[in-house]
Amino acid sequence: MAFKRRGINRVATISVHTSPLDQAGTGDAGGMNVYILEVVKRLAALGIEVEIFTRRTARDLPPVVELSPGVLVRHVTAGPYEELDRADLPAQLCAFLSGVLRTEAMYDPGRYDVIHSHYWLSGQVGWLAKERWGVPLVHTMHTMAKVKNLLLAEGDRPEPASRVLGEEQVVEVADRLVANTRAEAEELIQLYAAPPDRVAVVNPGVNLTVFQPGSKAAARTRLRLPDDAHVLLFVGRIQPLKGPDVLLRAAARMLDDRPELRSRLVVACVGGPSGNGLAHPSMLTDLAAELGISDVVRLAPPSPQHELADWYRAADITVVPSHNESFGLVALESQACGTPVVAASVGGLRTAVQDGVSGLLVEGHDPHDWARALDGLIEHPGRLRALAANAVTHATAFGWSGTAARLVEVYAGAMAQLHHTPIAVIS
C-alpha cells in the first residue's frame, strides 16, 4: 500500500563509519550497508526524502551523490580520507558533527523531521543534532558491545569500555530504539536498561527481486563450479566474529570421516578481511593449508548482489557460523534463493532461520557438531530439497517494503511524542 504520513517529509540518516555506496563484504561494509541502502530506497518510494550523512573516505568523492530519486548521500570531511581505523573514529566525531550541522544551517529551519542513526558512533552525532534541531532521534544499534563481549570468538578482542559508555549514552537519549528482533529488544532492555516503551521491533528484509530461486546448473556454470559438487558456502566479512574458521574445521572433520567426499566437496568463501581479520588477511588460506584442505577451498572477493545471488543458487548449503548476529541478512538472502542455511543458534539468526524448516541451527561452535549437521544434509538429499522449498517460503515473509513501512510508524510515533501532536496517515 502506498502511503505517507503528513509531517514526515525528510529524514536525516547518519552512518559515520560506513557508506551504503560501499561494497558489502569487506572492510567495515556489511549488513548495515545493505540495510541502509534498501530502507532509504523504500522510504523514498513512500514519498519521504532521505539524506545520508557519511564520512568521506576518498579525496575524489563528490560532496553529494544522488543514490536514487529522493535519496542523497552527503560525504562529510572528518579526519584523513583513507586508512582510518574504526577505533580512531571517536576523535573525529566533532568534525563530523560540524559538517552535519553546517549542512542543515544552509537551509531554512525545519529541514529534517527526524534523525535515524546507525551504530553507536552515529548515535553520538545524532544525539547532539537532535538537541540542536529539536527533532526526535531514532537509533538502530546493529551490534552491541555488551552482547559481543559475552560471545567473543577465540582470538577476538573485547569491545572497549568507551564504546560501552557511548552506547549507554545513546540508549538514554534516543526517542526510539529500533531492534531487529524481539531477542535484541530484550538485550537492550536487560543489558542497557532501555525503557521498554521506547524500544520498537522492526525486522530487516531481503531484496526479493534480486534474491530469488534460479537454475543451480546455470549458476554453477557461470561460477565455474562442478555440476556434481557438494558446495558449502560462506558469505561475509573474514573476521573471527563471523566464524569462517568453523566451516573450514568442520569440512576437515567431514573429510577425515569420509575421505571419498574430497573429490566432490567445495568450500566457497565469498568476502574480504575486516575488523580483527585485517591483522591476518591470509587467515583462511593459512588455515586451509594447516588443515590439509586447500584443494577443496575456494576464496572469492566480495560480490555485487546479482553475482552474490548466483553464489547462493550454486550452493547446496549456506553456512553462517557467526558468534553473534543482530539479524543475519546473509541467511535470509540465501533462503530467498532457495538454498537452506545451517547457522549458529545465536542472536537474530534464530529469527532469520526457521530451525528444522528452512534450515538448521547449531548450538555452539564445535567443528564436530557442525560437520555432523552438514554431512547429515549432504547424505539426505530429500531432506535438503524439503528445506530448500521451505526456505523460499520463509524468506518471502521478510520484504524491505514492510521494513520501511514499519519504520515510518516508528518515526511518526517518536515525532508525535516529542511534539505532543498526532501525525496523520494519508492512504
Binding-site positions = 17, 28-33, 86, 119, 143, 163, 237, 242, 312-313, 315, 325, 333, 339
Binding site, annotated residues for Mg(2+): 312-313, 315, 339
Binding site, annotated residues for UDP-N-acetyl-alpha-D-glucosamine: 31, 237, 242, 325, 333
- Asked whether the beta carbons of 243 and 367 are under 8 A apart, the reply is no
Instruction: Centre a 10 Å sphere on the Cβ of residue 146 and count the other Cβ atoms it contains.
Output: 16
DSSP lists the bridge partners of residue 164 as none
Cα pseudo-dihedral 17, 18, 24, 28, rounded to 10:
-10
- Asked whether the beta carbons of 266 and 227 are under 8 A apart, the reply is no
- Asked whether the beta carbons of 46 and 293 are under 8 A apart, the reply is no
- Asked whether the beta carbons of 394 and 335 are under 8 A apart, the reply is yes
Binding site, annotated residues for 1D-myo-inositol 3-phosphate: 17, 28-33, 86, 119, 143, 163
